């Protein structure tokens, strides 16, 4: 990671990564500025102007309660980005240390931790997050915890694999030979090898986390009304598809654009940081 | 081969054991009293709560409860749903067909779209065909399934009226849900097929086949594709699991009966036995599918058995 400026230069030349970064920056700015950019209050209802088509009055139309879809989509960007960041932080914060310890110390501890991870991996896709939400009771906060915990195995395995390959390097052996302590070896020599794949996976993981969280909210297990959250908005617009396609179309577009940007950036970072991971 | 098989199957036992333990503990990780939570909507007397406790065997020591849970599960008894008062196993049996149908149809859609897309991209590397296919695949992995489902309903049922929007039953009801789920899964298959194909096309035996004058298409199909699809097969297991999980969402979009609707309904109604039973069923099924895929993989690629 010492190649900081060099990396930045190469990143700028990567078309996909630049596109992803550009979309993300735009979304980030919109999300930050949502309270000031929104034409109207995102949760204020006005039944008299319900189901207005997109146009001069309502830029992206209004929903069945007369709420402004544009304002709700803007505020939804805030929620989705924050939910993604917090979920991935939880996943990395728990998964990375598990993988680090498991890969470095090996033996019994490794065997036990990996069996636990194996069990968690037996719940496919969003099922683990669903099971966790069912225990924690629905809500946006619990969705973040559930999506985060459900992704822990991914990071634990990734970090463990990176540590296992780094541990065998000659410089680690050398560091141990001159009497380096475990702590020093772990943080100084092994951690840097883990960082590159971790950044790539976490960037891609942001997209996945946003998708899962929106899905849980769509199912009614996440954000509760009247929160302007994209997944929830899609669910609310579902019954008005015939009369008002815009209620569910724009939040869906928001989710896709955000996840697309994360994927573009993640793929770009993978190309640059870790060519070995290339899929 | 037999040793490999035996080892692979034995390795599943502790995982399944862990899965039952995880599902069993769900009830005890609930903050507060699960029984009171489950009965929250009913007017209950302390007697009824005690009765419910006894019915769920919550008055016994934990190890005994867990033993009973596993023993019952092995006999196919997953408890009784609190809302419907029916056996969870019966509820699953009635719904599993719908979900399996959806998952299989989606898999067919995913392969039918994903493999040709990846193949085209690899064969015409760095042309607009490659870029176009990969942009489509990228959109596919970025698209929320529930949104794609709504878009398909909007176009194909509300406007064109070709297919019904909601419900289950006949094959017509299967088209839009499996298209939704399959399109999204096809993106991953397309990317994998492309990279795997590119790797194989660079191999010596492909060059040899070309050098001895074999027709290009013959080489692509007989030599390259056959080998390139091996890693694609392994991801089938993973994908099948994802399709089962994805069905949870798509079933809700299309109001289609199935295991997904069962789970979501169960969670919303705090019907823990129903949720536990269905989650356990899907996880166990997924583990089994993965074993089957591993075994199939070992058949296709002899190198695996040795390792």
User: Which pLDDT score, from 0 to 100, does residue A1 have?
Assistant: 44
CA–CA dist B69, B236 (Å, integer): 31
Query: Which letter does DSSP use for residue A53 in this model?
Result: P
What are the tens digits of pLDDT across the range B54-73? 777 777 888 888 888 888 88
Quote the CA–CA distance of B113 and A199 in Å, as a whole number.
31
Kindly report the number of other CB atoms within 10 A of residue B247's CB atom: 28
- pLDDT value of position B235: 76
**The two three-digit tokens of residue B122, written as one number:** 């690899």
Q: Give the range with max mean pLDDT: A51-55, A90-94, B282-286.
A: A90-94
Beta bridge partners of B87: B80
Judged by average pLDDT, the poorest of A7-11, A107-111, B11-15, B116-120 is: A7-11
Distance from CA of A279 to the nearest CA of B (A): 6
Q: Does A242 touch chain B (CB under 8 A)?
A: yes
Residues B143-195: pLDDT tens digits? 999 999 999 999 998 888 788 877 777 788 888 999 999 999 999 899 888 98
Question: Chain A: residue nearest B26 by CA?
Answer: A135
Is a pLDDT exceeding 70 seen at residue B43? no
pLDDT higher than 60, residue A2: no
With DSSP H G I counted as helix, E B as strand and the rest as coil, what are the percentages for chain A, rounded to 5?
75, 0, 25
The complex's ipTM works out to: 0.87
pTM, full prediction: 0.89
Choose the closest CB to A245 out of B138, B154, B275. Answer: B154
What count of other Cβ atoms lies within 10 Å of the Cβ of residue A188?
A: 13
List all residues 6 or more positions away from B10 whose beta carbon is below 8 Å from its beta carbon: none
Q: Give residue B197's pLDDT band: very low, low, confident or very high (50, 70, 90).
A: confident
* pLDDT at position A3 over 60: no
Q: How far apart are CA A85 and CA A75, in angstroms?
A: 16
Spatial neighbors of A202 by CB under 8 A, at least 6 apart, are: A88, A92, A155
Residues in chain B closer than 8 A to A256 (CB atoms): 139, 142-144, 147
d(CA A131, nearest CA chain B) in Å: 7
How far lies A183's CA from each of A96, A114, A132, A169, in Å? 15, 22, 34, 17
Overall average pLDDT of the B15-34 stretch? 84
Residue of B nearest to A207 (CA): B142
Tell me how many residue pairs between chain A and chain B have CB atoms under 8 A apart. Answer: 143
Q: What is the mean pLDDT of residues A54-79?
A: 86
Query: Does residue A279 register a pLDDT over 60?
Result: no
Residue A222 CA to residue A117 CA, distance in Å, equals 25
Inspect the interface and report whether the beta carbons of B249 and A218 lie closer than 8 Å.
yes
* Domain boundary assignment for chain A: 13-39+59-277
The alpha carbons of chain B give a radius of gyration, in whole angstroms, of 24
Which whole number is the average pLDDT over A78-87? 95
> For A255, which of B147, B191, B286 is closest by C-beta distance?
B147
* For B143, nearest residue in chain A (alpha carbons): A256
The CATH label, of 1.20.1510.10, 3.30.70.360, 1.10.3720.10, 3.40.50.1000, for the domain at A13-39+59-277 is 1.10.3720.10
The answer to whether the Cβ–Cβ distance between A134 and B267 falls below 8 Å is: yes
Return mean pLDDT, chain A. Answer: 88
Task: For B183-252, give the DSSP string.
Answer: HHHHHHHHHHHHHHHHHHHTSHHHHHHHHTT--HHHIIIIIIIHHHHHHHHHHHHHHHHHHHHHHHHHHH
- Tell me how far apart the alpha carbons of residues A233 and A240 are, in angstroms, rounded to a whole number: 11
Spatial CA neighbour of A130 closest among A118, A116, A147: A147
**A214/B contact by beta carbon, under 8 A:** yes
Q: In angstroms, what separates the C-alpha of A256 from chain B's closest C-alpha? A: 5
Give the C-alpha separation, A130 to A127, whole Å.
5
Give the torsion through C-alpha atoms of A32, A36, A40, A43, to 10 deg. Answer: 40
Instruction: Look at residues B195, B114, B190 and name the one whose alpha carbon lies nearest to residue A278.
Output: B195
């Amino acid at each position: 990671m010492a190649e900081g400026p060099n990396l930045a230069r190469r990143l700028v030349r990567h078309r996909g990564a630049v596109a992803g970064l550009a979309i993300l920056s735009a979304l980030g700015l919109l999300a930050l500025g949502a309270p000031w950019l929104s034409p109207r209050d995102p949760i204020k209802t006005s039944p008299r102007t319900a189901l207005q088509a997109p146009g001069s009055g309502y830029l992206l139309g209004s929903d069945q309660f007369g709420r402004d879809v544009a304002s709700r989509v803007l505020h939804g960007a805030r929620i989705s980005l924050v939910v993604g960041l917090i979920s991935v932080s939880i996943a990395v914060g728990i998964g990375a240390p598990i993988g680090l310890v498991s890969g470095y110390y090996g033996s019994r501890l490794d065997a036990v931790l990996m069996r636990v991870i194996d069990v968690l991996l037996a719940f496919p896709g969003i099922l683990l997050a669903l099971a966790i939400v069912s225990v924690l009771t629905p809500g946006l906060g619990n969705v973040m915890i559930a999506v985060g915990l459900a992704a822990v195995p991914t990071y634990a395995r990734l970090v463990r694999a990176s540590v296992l390959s780094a541990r065998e390097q000659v410089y680690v052996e050398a560091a141990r030979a001159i009497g380096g302590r475990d702590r020093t070896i772990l943080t100084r020599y092994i951690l840097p090898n883990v960082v590159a794949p971790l950044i790539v996976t976490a960037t891609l993981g942001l997209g996945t986390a946003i998708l899962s969280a929106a899905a849980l909210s769509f199912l009614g297990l996440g954000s509760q009304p009247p929160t302007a959250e994209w997944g929830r908005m899609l669910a609310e617009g579902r019954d008005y598809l015939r009369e008002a396609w815009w209620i569910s179309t724009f939040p869906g577009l928001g989710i896709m654009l955000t996840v697309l940007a994360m994927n573009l950036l993640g793929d770009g970072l993978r190309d640059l940081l870790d060519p070995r991971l290339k899929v | 081969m037999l040793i490999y098989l035996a080892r692979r199957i034995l390795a599943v036992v502790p995982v399944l054991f862990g899965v039952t333990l995880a599902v069993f503990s769900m009830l005890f990780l609930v903050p507060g009293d699960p029984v009171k939570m489950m009965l929250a909507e009913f007017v209950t007397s302390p007697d009824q709560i005690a009765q419910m406790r006894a019915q769920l065997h919550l008055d016994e020591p934990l190890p005994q409860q867990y033993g009973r849970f596993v023993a019952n599960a092995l006999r196919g008894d997953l408890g009784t749903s609190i809302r419907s008062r029916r056996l969870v196993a019966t509820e699953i049996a009635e719904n599993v067909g719908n979900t399996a149908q959806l998952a299989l149809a989606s898999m067919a859609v995913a392969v039918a779209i994903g493999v040709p897309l990846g193949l085209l991209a690899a064969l015409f590397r760095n042309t607009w065909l490659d870029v176009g296919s990969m942009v489509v695949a990228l959109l596919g992995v970025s698209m929320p399934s529930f949104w794609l489902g709504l878009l398909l309903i909007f176009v194909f049922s509300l406007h064109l009226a070709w297919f019904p929007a909601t419900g289950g039953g006949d094959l017509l009801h299967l088209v839009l849900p499996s298209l939704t789920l399959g399109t999204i899964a096809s993106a991953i298959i397309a990317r994998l097929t492309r990279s795997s194909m590119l790797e194989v096309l660079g191999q010596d035996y492909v060059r040899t086949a070309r050098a001895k004058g074999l027709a290009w298409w013959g080489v692509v199909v007989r030599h390259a594709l056959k080998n390139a699809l091996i890693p694609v097969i392994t991801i089938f297991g993973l994908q099948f699991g994802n399709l089962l999980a994805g069905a949870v969402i798509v079933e809700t979009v299309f109001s289609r009966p199935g295991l997904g609707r069962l789970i979501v309904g169960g969670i919303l109604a705090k019907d823990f036995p129903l949720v536990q039973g269905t989650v356990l069923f899907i996880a166990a099924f997924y583990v089994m599918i993965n074993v089957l895929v591993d075994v199939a993989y070992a058949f296709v690629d002899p190198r695996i058995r040795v390792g």
